[in-house]
Structure 1
Amino acid sequence: MAREIAEQPAALARTLSSLRPERAALRKLAEDRRVVLFVARGSSDNAAVYGRYLLEVHAGRASGLAAPSVATHYHADLDLTDALVVSVSQSGETQEIVETQSWAAQRGARTVAVTNDGGSSLANAADVALVTPAGAELAVPATKSYTAQLAAMTILAGALAPEPTALDPVLDRVPGEVERLIETRAGVAEAAERLSSTAEALVSGRGIAFGTALEAALKLEETCLRPVRGLSYADLRHGPIAVVDADHVALLVSAADGPMVSGMTDLAHDLRRRGAAATIGIGGDSGFAGAVDVAVPGPDLPELVAPLGLIVPAQLIVEALARRLGLNPDAPRGLSKVTQTDPAA
């Protein structure tokens, strides 16, 4: 896992360079489509959450997350002739996702596959395949394949935006920012130490960074065997915040700019007042860093592309925490690299 985290700067640079030429094909494919639907599970679903926000905020395209069981179990007969369906799978072989893409195509959707395997079933059946050249990923927890998927989302959103190349200047900075975060590891050891002090944890973010919060929570669960809730700041405020007490460590993620920073800073102050064991902040601005107990610097990137770097400190924390707990971060208990939702099917 540590080695694959370290490979991310090069993997991101390759992915952005490789996929930029696909923007014209994506734009043509989507030109008469009103809605974009994402199909994914696990880490890929968290990448899709980012894609959904980016398409709506940057490209002005209505987007949503589809439920694969509508296709695979309910066999619903939907009219998808105005939809672009984007299926996201690291392996391209999760049967549920492959079946849902086929179902969508049969109902009039145009299809895009985002996968790390150009020879996969998902890629071969799609109208356009965004193949992320992250390289073989051996550790079960997704790291470089996940950030490569995020890079693919920026290419997709750019293709559907009024100005396809608008994000390119900041995207060019992403590999360097990720490399800096990996090399400095600022705050990582202290954050892992705080998280090791209790099994009770929650993770929160909002907006463009919400997918990052969900991915950080998933990594803590699968790699460190911690029962973790990943919640939007807004959903946390609507009730679940009542569980916070001296046994809880809160991990908060925020971009350095944008409309969500002030709310995440207020949340950090509130969690302190409620007696949380510790608050750990990844990213944010100086006010956010001052509001948490442990400040872990994030990338120097604007909010729209911050998630490509914002997840990296969380990956480093999770890998360090797993080792601290005596766990193998490469092979979490009972998991395999290619997950089938219904293994008996």
Structure 2
Amino acid sequence: MTTKMRSEIAEQPAALRDTLDALLPRVDEVRRLAGQTRHLLFVARGTSDNAAVYGRYLIEARAGRMCALGAPSIATTYRRRVDLDGVLAVGLSQSGRTEEIVETLDWAKSCGAKTVAITNGGPASPLAEVADLALCTLAGEEKAVPATKTYTTQLAALAVLALGVGADVNADDLQRVPDAVEKLIDDPGDLSAVVEGLVGKPGVVVSGRGFAFSTALELALKLKEACYLHAMGLSYADLLHGPIAVVDEDTPAILVAAGEGPTLPGTVALAERVTGAGASAFGVGGGTSLAAAATAALNGPDLPEWVAPMGLIVPGQLLTEALARRLGIDPDAPRGLNKVTQTD
């Protein structure tokens, strides 16, 4: 039986093509709005917050603009005013109906910010309606509770946003993403070995750095949601500052990296340190160097670092779905979760 989650993972190449076709022609709209601002503030929760981490690294590293991850409770719980003149506030919500995010984006506008919505909910969703500009992804309806195609299309929308704020990247790289994702779906690497390596383990540390940090956070969240693992998502810089002590025979590490870039050598060195201490290190991406240092490895995309996260998460999604089934869990409907989460 094919799960809804597995079917929606397979829909990602088409969803990415449709989203990029719709949003790339709108770069000039982003440019006009962003030209009135200096800094960016991302407003999101859950999976969308992990997507925002990608947006922050991309825009700070490639566009030279300061970014921050907003705390919605400042608006919704503490109800404080903040001077947001010169800020581009970006609200992310797959449904566009999360009341906390809608309220916070509206609050940001009232505090002087220009506002952008990134949502799969369509132009009539509350989030899109409250924003100055809505970048609506075209993932189609997502029935499984764990987000897959809505996450990767959010990353695509953030890449378009980055182009609009002046990122020094080759926009043509985006056209390579759907084919790279399709290839990973067909050949994710040694999936069965990684699944068996996690069976019976109470927890796992998922680590990456830089652009791959968003993938580590999102994969950790998926393993929590769908497999009920105590999964900790960390930058490897933070992991080395103490939490690495939790990595042992019962707590393996999943290490994520693009196939190029300045964080790859450190990820490989961390894999060597983990395996040298007698624990398992499972690689995701990182090319042949990370695979050689790991206990077992999943493939990564043949993409430049700045777009690699759109592909890097895909083997992790496949891992989550396969591990959940191996554990006797329905990945489409994890306990205690709904598709749209409203925060008090």
TM superposition score category, shorter chain reference: over 0.9
CA displacement at 1:279 relative to structure 2: 1.0
Aligned partner of residue 228 in structure 1, secondary structure: strand
Question: Which amino acid is the alignment partner of residue 323 of structure 1?
Answer: R
- Find 2:166's aligned residue among 144, 161, 165: 161
CA displacement at 1:32 relative to structure 2: 2.5
Map of 1:150 onto structure 2:
155
Map of 1:325 onto structure 2:
327
Question: Which amino acid is the alignment partner of residue 59 of structure 1?
Answer: A
8 A contact 2:187–2:299 mirrored in 1 = no
- In the alignment, the residues of structure 2 paired with residue 244 and residue 162 of structure 1 have an alpha-carbon distance, to the nearest angstrom, of 37
- Find 2:134's aligned residue among 123, 129, 132: 129
Aligned partner of residue 42 in structure 2, secondary structure: strand
8 A contact 2:287–2:299 mirrored in 1 = no
- In the alignment, the residues of structure 2 paired with residue 288 and residue 327 of structure 1 have an alpha-carbon distance, to the nearest angstrom, of 30
CA displacement at 1:76 relative to structure 2: 1.3
What per-residue deviation string (whole Å, max 9, x for no partner) do you get for residues 263-312 of structure 1?
Answer: 00011011112221x11100002221111010111000010100000000
- In the alignment, the residues of structure 2 paired with residue 217 and residue 254 of structure 1 have an alpha-carbon distance, to the nearest angstrom, of 15
What per-residue deviation string (whole Å, max 9, x for no partner) do you get for residues 49-102 of structure 1?
Answer: 000000011111111101100111111111111100000000011111011001
Map of 1:263 onto structure 2:
266
CA displacement at 1:23 relative to structure 2: 0.9
Q: Does 1:189 align with 2:192?
A: yes
- In the alignment, the residues of structure 2 paired with residue 6 and residue 211 of structure 1 have an alpha-carbon distance, to the nearest angstrom, of 21
Map of 1:101 onto structure 2:
105
Q: Which residues of 2 match residues 167-182 of structure 1 at below 5 A?
A: 167-182=170-185
CA displacement at 1:5 relative to structure 2: 0.1
8 A contact 2:185–2:315 mirrored in 1 = yes
Q: Does 1:76 align with 2:119?
A: no
CA displacement at 1:200 relative to structure 2: 2.0
- In the alignment, the residues of structure 2 paired with residue 186 and residue 221 of structure 1 have an alpha-carbon distance, to the nearest angstrom, of 22
Question: Which amino acid is the alignment partner of residue 302 of structure 1?
Answer: P
Q: Which residues of 2 match residues 207-226 of structure 1 at below 5 A?
A: 207-226=210-229
Range 177-186 or range 142-151, more displaced = 177-186
CA displacement at 1:167 relative to structure 2: 2.9
- In the alignment, the residues of structure 2 paired with residue 294 and residue 7 of structure 1 have an alpha-carbon distance, to the nearest angstrom, of 26
- Find 2:22's aligned residue among 18, 30, 34: 18
Aligned partner of residue 252 in structure 2, secondary structure: strand
- Find 1:59's aligned residue among 56, 63, 69: 63
Q: Which residues of 2 match residues 290-305 of structure 1 at below 5 A?
A: 290-305=292-307
- In the alignment, the residues of structure 2 paired with residue 85 and residue 132 of structure 1 have an alpha-carbon distance, to the nearest angstrom, of 18
- In the alignment, the residues of structure 2 paired with residue 93 and residue 167 of structure 1 have an alpha-carbon distance, to the nearest angstrom, of 33
Map of 1:244 onto structure 2:
247
Q: Any gaps of 5 or more consecutive residues in structure 1?
A: none
Judged with a 3 Å threshold, the aligned counterparts in structure 2 of structure 1 residues 162 and 315 are, in CA distance, closer, same or farther, namely closer
> Under a length normalisation based on structure 1, what TM-score does the superposition of the two structures give?
0.97
CA displacement at 1:162 relative to structure 2: 5.7
- In the alignment, the residues of structure 2 paired with residue 167 and residue 114 of structure 1 have an alpha-carbon distance, to the nearest angstrom, of 22
- In the alignment, the residues of structure 1 paired with residue 319 and residue 188 of structure 2 have an alpha-carbon distance, to the nearest angstrom, of 9
CA displacement at 1:41 relative to structure 2: 0.3
What per-residue deviation string (whole Å, max 9, x for no partner) do you get for residues 93-123 of structure 1?
Answer: 1111011001101011000000001121000
What per-residue deviation string (whole Å, max 9, x for no partner) do you get for residues 190-209 of structure 1?
Answer: 11111113122110000011
Range 189-198 or range 204-213, more displaced = 189-198
Question: Which amino acid is the alignment partner of residue 94 of structure 1?
Answer: T
What per-residue deviation string (whole Å, max 9, x for no partner) do you get for residues 144-195 of structure 1?
Answer: 00000000010000111166xx432211111001001101232112111111
Q: Does 1:37 align with 2:58?
A: no
Judged with a 3 Å threshold, the aligned counterparts in structure 2 of structure 1 residues 162 and 57 are, in CA distance, closer, same or farther, namely closer
- In the alignment, the residues of structure 2 paired with residue 264 and residue 151 of structure 1 have an alpha-carbon distance, to the nearest angstrom, of 25
- In the alignment, the residues of structure 2 paired with residue 134 and residue 173 of structure 1 have an alpha-carbon distance, to the nearest angstrom, of 18
The percent of aligned pairs where both chains have the same amino acid is 57
What per-residue deviation string (whole Å, max 9, x for no partner) do you get for residues 28-52 of structure 1?
Answer: 1111311100000000000000000
Q: CA RMSD in A?
A: 1.0
Q: Does 1:27 align with 2:24?
A: no
Range 285-294 or range 323-332, more displaced = 285-294
Aligned partner of residue 331 in structure 2, secondary structure: coil
8 A contact 1:158–1:167 mirrored in 2 = no
Report how many aligned residue pairs link the two structures.
Answer: 339
> Under a length normalisation based on structure 2, what TM-score does the superposition of the two structures give?
0.97
- In the alignment, the residues of structure 1 paired with residue 181 and residue 203 of structure 2 have an alpha-carbon distance, to the nearest angstrom, of 29
